[in-house]
Structure 1
Amino acid sequence: MEPPRHRKHTYPLPPALRSSTESGDRTAQYHEKSGWIYGRSKNTLERIQDDRYQKNRETNIHWPFQSRAEWRLGKFLAENLTQAQINTFLKLDWLDGQKPSFTSACQLLDWMDTLPSGPGWQVMQLEVDGYDTGKKIDLIYRDGLEVVESLFGNPIFAQNMTFDPLRIQRNGEEEYGEWFTAQEATRIQDTLPDGATLVPVIAASDKTPITRYMGGLEMHPLFLTIANIDADVRMKATAHAWRCVAFVPVVKFEVHSDYQTILQSRLWHKCVDIVTEKLKRATNCGEFMADPFGDVRCCYTPLVAWTADLPEQQLIATKPWDLNAFQKLAKANHLLGVHLPFWRDWKNSDVCCFLVPEILHTVHKLFFDHVLKWCKEVVGSDELDTHYKVHHKHVGVRHFAAGVSHVSQMTGREYRDIQRTIVPMIAGAAPSTMVRPVHALIDFFYLAQRPLHTESSIRSMEASLSEFHSTKHAIITASGRSGKENFNIPKLELLLSFADAIRRSGSLIQYSADVSERLLITHCKTPFARTNKQPNFAEQIVRLLDREERMRLLDVYLLLHEYNEPLVNAASDEEDLLCSADPTSAWVSHVAPGEQYHFNSPRPTRNIFTDGISSSGATAALSVTITPDRTKLRIVDIGDIYMLPDFTTRLEEYILQCTGGSTSHSIFQSFNEIMVWHKFCIQRYSVSRPSTIMPSQVVQAQPPSTSFPLGNCDAVLLNVDGQSQHNPDHVAQVRVVFRMTRSHRSQEPPPPFLAQPLLYVQPFHIIATPESQLDTCLWMLERVYSPSLRPTSACHVGFILPLTEVCHSADLVPAFGKEVDRTVTLATSQEVYQRFYLNYYTNKEAFDTLYEYRSVQI
């Protein structure tokens, strides 16, 4: 091999160092003795060519299929139909003129089995000496090291990988995001030989029933990925950054029930031991692997994180015991009594470190099981349901039309949707002393989910948790929780470990079980549903899983040959690639947009910044559809259609202001028609990670209709001058989105201030700041009325400004008070109520919104 060389400058930058719009001093320092290169080899996709059928593919790349079309047909049939259905399809009369070269389902599946393959699946039968299970114990697995090597060398992830620990300093503070920026990365690298490359292993598992067709079969699917792949990619289940490596069986031993759990736990650890045996060997001695660029590195594979719920964590975190005395000691100490845990000989893998806090089951489940229950007890289930029913509905945000207490079990997404509005929903209906600890805990939840942390943000998170504990007695006082129950909640105690876990392992959102919960369906229940209850179902699963792996690899392999543009050469600096949640989809859209529908991948985020309208200050991008929702309206008609009697007057004021006081009569003669849109989109960069573009948000401005008699309009934050006489407080409701157009007789080009979309908005006045409201820490707003008229919907103060003055969408929650007026509905609440909370929790990316709204100078 060549002598070792240092890191190439062509490798992609880690997420923390990519292009950023963020201001502030930021420095980065790589580890001095990591990442040497020892030669050249083939990456994962290049290695799949080295099988015994490669000569057949030299003349026909689609072999054994005759053409690309026949391969697509075969893939579709194998993925979607049973063997009987495939045979029926092949016998259809309309196929007589163009029958494929395979004549039966058996032949098609045999052909699929000759395709290039990745790490192979296998079955191992296990026995537990001295104990009978009644059924054979089949471990379905593949070698963990082969899977890790396949991931590490996969060019699909070439532009989304990090190879070296680095320390980020932002404004003098340590920054923690990806695992490679955390303390454990530097600590482990320091223990390795000079030039070693870390390939940190992240695992996930969860006990799940395979109920369909399998007679109540249960197992523990085991998944692996590597921390080298960016967290944004790993967090998408359809990006294929996670690989299933084992189906650990759950068997019932024919023993006394007191020993059932002990034996099942021992069996689980034994199975994981088999799967990870070579990974542990590589951690001790190192293993030469090729990265996506074909550079050979000496790699070490410590276990750095394990995503699991609390019962699964208890299964993993058992304590070794002497074989002869473990039963009595284990029972006395509430331990499982496993004497050979799988991690006992895994170097640099500490169970206290790799069992990271898990957001889905610890944070969101804690909210649903306890915090929401406290709110229901204090406010009343019916009253709280009514608050959610009449709350204004936003596009893209879950609305609870039936309330929040109608079901006993929800999904993680529903937990998060309720959290976003729980504080303003209970404000006024619950005692302020009880709202304060709830608000403090919700703040902690949101801060804990940030993708980037500094010591300041960690201190803020700890301060929120401390505030909760110092004020939580008010929940008992308000009868939200029985005094006998106290607060001895295991999940609540786990929150104390979050700060140290962030410093050790990076942001916790990257270890959320949302991904593994999705993988349980796509990689476990769905494949097993395609088998039957025959005794050899394990062999069926092995063949099925191998076949799916072959088909997925071949799709990318064929595109590589057809378009002759390697994945590793994809332009990593292009915004459309950076914004994509899936690197495969990004590359396919780059070289072959017409092929995207063949790949199961997340929908890429539309980048409005490339073709939209930039807001003033370029902090946001705005977009309206090419075709307006309504065209050729007269100016005088807007007041009647939108119930805005002062629209014409405000438009004249806007024109006079833009022309420096000149008359607006000639402009009205030339531009006497208006185009109207009912919505526009706004998009921003992530506040926590400025190189990431967030999904766009829709802002509605619909006129009164049968469904919404007072209109359906959203609120925004504005970027206008703080001294403006119209809107000193920067928060307004959008009533009309429009643009003036010239009449048929006029050939005069529009002046610049009329050439862009305009908004008619109605402002809100801030009557209370977060500092003055210790219970909610929210801004309280009030509608602005004409001083000479009584407060009715017809006399709201309004004004006109360019669309570019919008900087953020906003969610307003009415100040419902002690009890909601039962005549108010979803369609009228935004107009009937006069006071609102500016809710900084509502956003698809909650951690961004909390950070940003508190930093905005409103």
Structure 2
Amino acid sequence: MAAIDHFLGIELIKALPLSFHTAKELRGRAELLPSGPKWQYHIISTEHPMKLPVHLYWRDPLDCIELLFNNPRFAKDIDFIPECIYTMAEHMVRIYDEWMTGDTAWMMQSELPEGSTLLGVILSSDKTNITNMTVRNKASSHAFLLTALLPIAEFVHPVKRMQGVLEAHLIHQCLDIVLEPLKQAAHIGCMMSDPVRNLRYCFTPLTSYIVDTPEAAMLACQFSDGFQHPPCTAKTTLTQLKSIKSMCDPRNFEDFFAAYEPYHLSGVVDPFWHNWPFTDPTRFLTLEALHHWHREFYDHNVQWCIRIIGTEELDFHFSVLQPLVTFRHFKQGILMLKQVTGRAQRDMQHYLVAVIVDAAPPGVVIAVRALMDFHYLSQAVTISSNQCQKILDALKTFHNHKHQIIVHGGCQGAKSKNILDNWYIPKLELMQSVVLSVYQDPAELTNNQNYDPQICQYLDHIEKCQHFHTATSIAQQLQSQMDTATTGYGDDDLDDGINDDKGADEADDLQATISDLWGTGCVITNFFKKAQLASSSTTAPRPLCTFIAGSTTIHLNFYPSLRCQAIDNVAEKFCLPDLRAALANYIQREGQIVQNLCVYKLTGQHRASPNMNLPFKHLDIWFKVCVQQMPHDTGSALLPALTVSASLPDANWKHGRYDAAIFTVDGTEQWPASGLQGDLTYASVFFVLRNTIY
């Protein structure tokens, strides 16, 4: 507030016709704006003593759902009816995209009253420092609203592990309070207005709860015996828990804990979801990439390889890899990293299987590779029924070979360092739910004194200002359209049907205005459209910098990285002694006309003379090329372009650094169905001739 007062005190700012002159007056203006869901608090009482009393701050989740449901930003993005998508008319292969394309949505909809609307609720929580509020930084799509600040209590109990059990009970108690309105709406339904102001009879079952592994393990009331038996159903396990509790002394909580610990259960007899219709942890506990794949990879896969291969050997293998422009190069290995970020974990995944081949036993390599296949297949944007089977096969391959990891001493306790003979790893346990889930599918400014209310007030101000900005921008857009309609058309024009198409255009303009305000700002460039426009234009310079080859478009910057370079100088600079001969073959012998472009192969023996005369003397060279592909299924949006880069040789890297790419040049093969078959070209550095050919 002091910084705002200082800014408002500048003479130039004071001259502006503002309705406020201090930070306190500005806050007062924000308080007058229309409010969204109201923050409230509840004092939580427990039977066990705590260091400080617990205050739960929360908002009515039903109000939050309604605010999202009637937001005009999502008018074109909401599915009101479950659907099935197939790749062909014979309904042989089914495609799973959003949750409404899954089996669970069909099942739930069939049990609701006719004409009702299914609103699947996605909850997400993570432990985060409240003064950082990092959870809000991830919600750039504005599809999530902060509903509650769950407290982290400090219980006074002599047994440390019992403190964790008591915390689990407290979290379920808080969630039960917060989520009660959603449970009622799932039972009896409620009326809500959609983005175009139609009233709908809505039901709110829980479809996904995205949490880190410790929370998932705490919330899940299911178990399996080392993956040898299928998980128990939630109903059966809860019955077992209550039976155990009935045999224990209710005054002795430790007895109850000792009784359920051998079953690997959390001990929560009345979880928050126990009276929520259509809700089952085998369905709503879905995995997410950061914690359950990237963290699992580093916490387990990498650690297995370290123990089996050895730290020095594994680091050496990483250090001698050819550096790529796109991915991080671990020149000192991976064990000396001070901070292993999610990006570093993703980069390691690209190398791990390659660096352990011939260094680890074959069974270990197969198990690690199968788990990596599972990770990559599971992260696809759209998954077909055939891909689901591949995911299951990859997980089965891992389980068939995982014993090799224990045999060679790779699986050890985190603290004891003893060799383990079991697979009680929650992240691996939850992987069994992946295919099932496919079928379903600012605060740092606080003074740290009583900051929970300050956080809620700050978030309330931000939300009010955001909605106010949206409303005024929409009003301005509508006024602008009305002015254009009044001044831009005569009476005759208004009667001849022109306004029919114009109304649709205005709706698109309005949607674009809302997207600019609420969108993420990351727009995928459509290079296919650019290539089509360029090819049909008679004024665009030739050869084209953006062109289509099959299902791929290639885009180059208008200006090359190096312009007008002599051929012999290029050959010397890039260590390509046969460049002139390759270019001669490129022109004379290997050519074929494809879409008015000369496309040649540079592979094989160069039969031309190294002193061959060429019809040009200079080359333009690009170090970067953008490659964009069409989606491989009908349910996906346009895929973002990938950049393939190369850099000049230098004293450290005499052959330069580059990204590797594999292109199919066989018109009879269709990727990905064909796999790595047919004629393939391995490209590392791209040379493009500005004259007449590519």
TM-score band (shorter)? 0.7 to 0.9
> In structure 1, what is the equivalent of residue 108 of structure 2?
188
2:665–2:679 CA contact under 8 A, matched in 1: no
Structure-2 change in CA distance of 1:640 and 1:165 (3 Å)? same
Residue 497 in 1 paired to residue 432 in 2?
A: yes
8 A Cα contact 1:122 1:542, kept in partner: no
> Which of 401, 407, 419 matches 2:349?
419
Is the aligned partner of 1:111 residue 2:13? no
1:707/1:551 Cα in 2 relative to 1: closer, same or farther (>3 Å)? farther
- Cα distance in 2 for residues equivalent to 1:473 and 1:337: 30
Aligned to 1:124: 42
Q: Indicate whether 1:206 and 2:126 are aligned.
A: yes
1:496, CA displacement in angstroms?
5.7
1:364–1:682 Cα change, 3 Å: same
Q: 1:548 offset after TM fit, Å?
A: 0.9
Partner of 1:539: 453
Could you tell me how far 1:722 is from its partner in structure 2? 8.2
Give aligned pairs, total. 596
Q: 2:649 aligns with which of 692, 700, 704?
A: 704
**Whole-angstrom CA distance in 1 between matches of 2:480 and 2:21:** 35
Alpha-carbon distance between aligned partners in 2 of 1:546 and 1:273, rounded to the nearest angstrom: 23
Please give the alpha-carbon distance, in whole angstroms, between the structure 1 residues aligned to 2:411 and 2:268. 37
Alignment of 1:208-357 (within 5 A): 208-210=128-130, 237-254=139-156, 257=159, 260-317=163-220, 319=238, 321=242, 326=250, 327=253, 328-334=255-261, 337-338=267-268, 340-357=270-287
Report the equivalent of 1:732: 682
**Rounded Cα–Cα distance in structure 2 between residues aligned with 1:675 and 1:377:** 50
**Compared with structure 1, are the counterparts of its residues 419 and 122 closer, same or farther at alpha carbon in structure 2 (3 Å cutoff)?**
same
Q: Give the whole-Å Cα distance in 2 for the aligned partners of 1:694 and 1:236.
A: 21
Aligned counterpart for 2:583 among listed residues 632, 639, 651: 651
> Counterpart in 1 of 2:550?
618
Normalising by structure 2, we get a TM-score of 0.77
Amino acid in structure 1 at the alignment position of 2:471: Y
Report how far residue 502 of structure 1 moved: 3.1
**Which of 51, 57, 64 is the aligned partner of 1:147?**
64
After superposing the two structures, state which structure 1 stretch, 398-407 or 251-260, moved more: 251-260
In the TM superposition, residue 253 of structure 1 has moved relative to its aligned partner by 4.1
Letter in 2 for 1:295: N
Is the Cα–Cα contact under 8 Å of residues 119 and 203 in structure 2 kept in the other structure? yes
Q: Name the stretch that deviates more: 613-622 or 373-382.
A: 613-622
2:318 paired residue among 371, 388, 404: 388
CA shift for structure 1 position 365: 2.6
Q: Which residue of 2 aligns with 1:231?
A: none
Residue in 2 that maps onto 1:457: 387
Residue type of the alignment partner of 2:150: V
**Deviation readout 1:790-828 (Å, 9 max, x if unpaired):** xxxxxxxxxxxxxxxxxxxxxxxxxxxxxxxxxxxxxxx
Q: Does the residue aligned with 1:156 lie in a helix, a strand or coil? A: helix
Say if 1:423 and 1:654 are closer, same or farther in 2 by CA, change over 3 A: same
Q: Is contact 1:238–1:602 with CA below 8 Å preserved after alignment? A: no
Residue 684 of structure 1 pairs with residue 629 of structure 2: yes
Q: Which runs of 5+ in 2 are unaligned?
A: 222-237, 413-417, 482-507, 532-544, 599-607, 669-676
For 2:619, the aligned partner's letter is: I
CA contact (8 A) 1:423 1:439 kept: yes
Q: Distance in 2 between matches of 1:702 and 1:317?
A: 50
Deviation at 1:106, TM superposition (A): 0.3
Residue of structure 2 aligned with 1:719, choices 664, 670, 679: 664
Using the alignment, how far apart are the partners of 2:298 and 2:348 within structure 1? Answer: 9
Residues in 2 aligned to 1:451 and 1:659: alpha-carbon distance in whole angstroms: 36
Q: How far apart, in 2, do the equivalents of 1:386 and 1:689 lie?
A: 44
Match of 1:45 in 2: none
Q: What is residue 607 of structure 1 aligned with on the other side?
A: 526
Q: Identity over aligned residues, as a percent?
A: 30
Unmatched 5+ stretches in structure 1: 1-82, 213-218, 224-234, 507-525, 568-585, 742-753, 759-858
Q: Separation in 1 of the partners of 2:475 and 2:323?
A: 48
Find the residue that maps to 1:147 and give its secondary structure: helix
Establish whether residue 170 from structure 1 lines up as the match of residue 87 from structure 2. yes
**Does structure 1 residue 642 correspond to structure 2 residue 569?**
no
Shift in alpha-carbon separation, 1:720–1:261, aligned structure 2, 3 A: closer
How far apart are the structure 2 equivalents of 1:156 and 1:347? 29
Aligned-residue offset at 1:93: 4.1
Partner of 1:780: none
Q: Is the 8 A contact 2:150 2:171 kept in 1?
A: yes
1:480-535 CA distance string (max 9 Å, x none): 346941242323651562355235422xxxxxxxxxxxxxxxxxxx42x2222324
CA distance in 1, matches of 2:39, 2:314: 51
**Alignment of structure 1 residues 802-821 onto 2, 5 Å:** none
Q: In 2, distance between residues paired with 1:566 and 1:349?
A: 48
- CA distance 1:85–1:463, shift in 2 (3 Å): same
Preserved contact between residue 663 and residue 682 of structure 2 (Cα < 8 Å) = yes
Query: Within 1, Cα distance between the matches of 2:592 and 2:109?
Result: 65
Which whole-Å deviations, capped at 9, do the CAs of 1:303-357 have from their partners, x for residues lacking one? 1111112321243346474799553445411355545432222112123322234
Indicate whether 1:552 and 2:473 are aligned. Answer: no
The separation in 2 between residues aligned to 1:462 and 1:728, in whole angstroms, is 28
1:101 CA displacement: 3.6
CA-based RMSD of the aligned residues comes to: 3.7
Deviations 1:411-434 (A, max 9, x none): 333322212221112113333343
Match of 2:673 in 1: none
1:146 deviates by: 0.3
- Whole-angstrom distance in 2 between the partners of 1:378 and 1:565: 69
| Pair 1:473-2:403 in alignment | yes
SS in structure 2 opposite 1:117?
Answer: coil
Deviates more, 1:192-201 or 1:288-297: 288-297
Give the one of 565, 581, 587 matched to 1:633: 565
Mapped to 2, the partners of 1:316 and 1:587 lie a distance apart of 45
More displaced, 554-563 or 700-709? 700-709
Other-structure match for 2:235:
none
Query: What's the offset of the Cα at 1:199?
Result: 0.3
Deviations 1:659-692 (A, max 9, x none): 999x99xx97874433222221112234366632
| Residues 385, 403 of structure 1: 8 Å contact kept | yes
* Superposed CA offset, 1:254-304 (max 9, x none): 555476445444432232222222211111111111111222111000111
Tell me how far 1:203 sits from its aligned partner. Answer: 0.6
Distance 2:564 2:332 in 1: 40
Q: Secondary structure at the match of 1:371?
A: helix
Query: Does the CA-based 8 Å contact 2:287-2:431 persist in structure 1?
Result: no
The aligned runs of 1:45-56 (5 Å cut-off) are none
Instruction: Quote how far apart the aligned CAs of 1:437 are.
Output: 1.8
- Secondary structure, counterpart of 1:237 in structure 2: coil
Tell me the SS of whatever aligns to 2:687: strand
| Larger strand fraction of residues | 1
2: distance between equivalents of 1:396 and 1:689? 29
Q: 1:495 to 1:133 in 2, by over 3 A?
A: closer
1:106-151 Cα deviation digits (max 9, x unpaired): 00111111223322222333434x6554534221111000000111
1:162 is paired with a residue whose SS is: coil
Q: Kindly provide the amino acid, as one letter, of the partner of residue 680 in structure 2.
A: H
| Equivalent-residue separation in structure 1 for 2:644 and 2:155 (angstroms) | 59
The letter for the 2-side match of 1:115 is L
Query: Residues of 1 paired with 2:211 and 2:419: CA distance?
Result: 31
2-structure distance, mates of 1:625, 1:375? 42
1:556 alignment partner, SS class: helix
